[in-house]
């Protein structure tokens, strides 16, 4: 089964209701989603998603890495991953890390995910089974749906999420310690003690003592985890917080390549590691990172945020790995799922029902692509 084509698609999906801002993102009225489609000679297709920082990089990265795939056997996933990772690591760019430029690793991630999707469809089994098996049909989730908004809006949205049957919610912090503590207190008062509540600062705190004060206040409101108090890489500060605070410290969504995750684990800087399949290196890398984390007795909870492509990739990994925790679902994702996927995932009492379909378990609607996608061929 040889690879015939690789196609990049940029999706521009307008939102009926804008997403309020976070510490790292302004108010968002339109989603930009970057997809890769691989097609084999027999017509089988696989999909993957890239978390692109600069849209200008998307097509050049897809062209460069795609040259390594055309004519190659689609089941040679590990071999192709290593070839692509070597090229991505050597490509000069301003936004570069220990393992090379960010956006080239994002495209590597999308291609790798598409290769797994292609392999599962070829064999007629889910990616989870290719990874080792399906441990459960019910995958626990949490909803990211509370951003930097007035307390009344946070309370209203929190109640709406609970009414939809979900039992865990993540809210954003903005870096203003007093405002953040007050917002968490207001949400916890609204939810009571039966709903799991996470807090995500998106690296907004610069000062260790401030982050420590906030973390101690969050503990009083029974926070499930304190995510990204600092920007990634400040592992000594992360490790100190891990030792000082009761709420677990989570992070890692912005890391790419295996090495930065290993550095964080060696420093004992995280209780919960959170690779994003769209950036870390795809399913191959996320699976390796999960096994590495288990050696340090660190849990993994995959970051996926807005797109159902990333969600289904994370779901397949989570279904196969017993130490992989809750799946992230963005609160407004349901509307996108309905129009984007032929068979959107179903939820029951806060769980994603893992259907164990071939590949990643979905097909993208041709109608959706025609309406919202652009590609170099268009």
pLDDT per residue as tens digits for the range 335-351:
899 999 999 999 999 99
Q: Are residues 186 and 289 in the same domain?
A: yes
Residue 20, C-beta contacts closer than 8 angstroms, at least 6 positions apart: 27, 147, 148, 149, 153
Q: How does pLDDT run across 109-147, given as a tens digit for each residue?
A: 999 999 999 999 999 999 999 999 999 999 999 999 999
Most distant CA pair in the chain: distance in Å?
Answer: 59
> What Cα–Cα distance (Å) separates residue 19 from each residue in 65, 148, 222?
33, 10, 26
d(CA 26, CA 97): 24
Whether 45 maps to a domain, the answer reads yes
Average pLDDT over residues 8-32: 93
Whether 198 maps to a domain, the answer reads yes
b/e burial code for range 334-361 (CB count within 10 A of at least 16 → b): eebbeebbeebbebeebbbebeebbbbb
H/E run at residue 309: helix 308-320
Inter-residue contact 44 to 122 (CB < 8 Å): yes
Of 268, 225, 267, 265, which is closest to residue 248 (Cα–Cα)? 225
d(CA 158, CA 268): 33
Q: Are residues 220 and 343 in the same domain?
A: yes
Which of residues 106, 124, 142 is at a domain's end?
A: 124
Predicted model pTM: 0.95
Average pLDDT over residues 75-101: 79
Q: Are residues 56 and 157 in the same domain?
A: no
pLDDT for the residue 376: 61
d(CA 227, CA 245): 12
In the predicted structure, residue 267 carries a pLDDT above the cut 80: yes
Q: Are residues 30 and 153 in the same domain?
A: no
d(CA 63, CA 6): 8
In the predicted structure, residue 91 carries a pLDDT above the cut 80: no
Q: Are residues 141 and 237 in the same domain?
A: yes
In this prediction, residue 306 has a pLDDT band, given cuts at 50, 70 and 90, of: confident
Per the model's pLDDT, the better-predicted residue between 306 and 28 turns out to be 28
H/E run at residue 152: helix 151-163
Q: How does pLDDT run across 186-223, given as a tens digit for each residue?
A: 999 999 999 999 999 999 999 999 999 999 999 999 99
d(CA 351, CA 349): 6
Looking at the structure of the chain, the number of domains it has is 2
What does the DSSP 8-state code read for residue 57?
A: G
Inter-residue contact 12 to 32 (CB < 8 Å): yes
Which of residues 124, 159, 188 is at a domain's end?
A: 124
Report the CATH number that the domain containing residue 54 is assigned in CATH: 3.30.390.10
d(CA 40, CA 303): 29
What share of the chain has pLDDT > 70, as a percent? Answer: 97
H/E run at residue 127: helix 127-130
Q: Are residues 311 and 330 in the same domain?
A: yes
Whether 368 maps to a domain, the answer reads no
Q: Are residues 135 and 115 in the same domain?
A: no
Residue 36's domain comprises 3-124
CB atoms under 10 Å from CB of 83, counted, come to 16
In this prediction, residue 95 has a pLDDT band, given cuts at 50, 70 and 90, of: low
Report the CATH number that the domain containing residue 308 is assigned in CATH: 3.20.20.120
Whether 369 maps to a domain, the answer reads no
CA torsion through residues 316, 317, 320, 325, sign: negative
pLDDT for the residue 309: 96
pLDDT for the residue 100: 63
Whether 364 maps to a domain, the answer reads no
CB atoms under 10 Å from CB of 317, counted, come to 24
Whether 310 maps to a domain, the answer reads yes
Q: Are residues 150 and 199 in the same domain?
A: yes
> What Cα–Cα distance (Å) separates residue 159 from each residue in 149, 151, 162, 195, 236?
15, 12, 5, 11, 37
Which of residues 91, 124, 157 is at a domain's end?
A: 124
């Amino acid at each position: 089964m040889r690879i015939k084509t690789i196609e990049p698609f940029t999706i521009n999906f307008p939102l009926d209701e804008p997403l309020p801002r976070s510490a790292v993102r302004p108010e968002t009225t339109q989603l930009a989603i970057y997809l890769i489609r691989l097609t084999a000679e027999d017509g089988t297709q696989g999909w993957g998603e890239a978390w692109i920082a600069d849209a200008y990089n998307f097509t050049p990265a897809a062209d460069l890495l795609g040259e390594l795939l055309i004519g190659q056997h689609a089941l040679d996933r590990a071999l192709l991953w290593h070839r692509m990772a070597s090229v991505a690591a050597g490509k000069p760019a301003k936004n570069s890390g220990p393992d090379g430029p960010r956006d080239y690793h994002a495209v590597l991630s999308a291609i790798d995910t598409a290769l797994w999707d292609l392999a599962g469809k070829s064999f007629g089994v889910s990616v989870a089974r290719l990874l080792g098996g399906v441990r459960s049909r019910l995958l626990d989730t949490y909803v990211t749906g509370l951003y930097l908004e007035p307390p009344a809006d946070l309370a209203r949205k929190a109640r709406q999420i609970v009414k939809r049957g979900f039992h865990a919610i993540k809210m954003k912090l903005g870096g203003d310690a007093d405002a953040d503590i007050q917002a968490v207190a207001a949400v916890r008062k609204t939810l009571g003690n039966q709903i799991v509540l996470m807090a995500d600062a998106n690296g907004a705190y610069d000062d260790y003592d401030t982050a420590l004060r906030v973390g101690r206040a969050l503990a009083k409101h029974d926070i499930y985890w304190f995510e990204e108090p600092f920007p990634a890489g400040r592992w000594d500060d992360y490790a100190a917080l891990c030792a000082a605070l009761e709420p677990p410290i989570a992070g890692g969504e912005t890391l790419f390549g295996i090495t930065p995750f290993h550095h964080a684990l060696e420093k004992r800087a995280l209780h919960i590691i959170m690779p994003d399949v769209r950036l870390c290196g795809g399913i191959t890398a996320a699976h390796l990172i999960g096994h590495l984390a288990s050696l340090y007795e660190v849990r993994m909870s995959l970051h996926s945020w807005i797109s159902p492509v990333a969600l289904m990739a994370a779901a397949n990994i989570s279904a196969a790995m017993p130490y992989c925790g809750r799946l992230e679902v963005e609160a407004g994702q349901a509307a996108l799922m309905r129009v984007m996927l032929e068979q959107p995932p179903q939820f029951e009492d806060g769980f994603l029902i893992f259907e164990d379909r071939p590949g990643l378990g979905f097909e993208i609607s041709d109608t959706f692509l025609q309406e919202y996608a652009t590609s170099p061929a268009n």
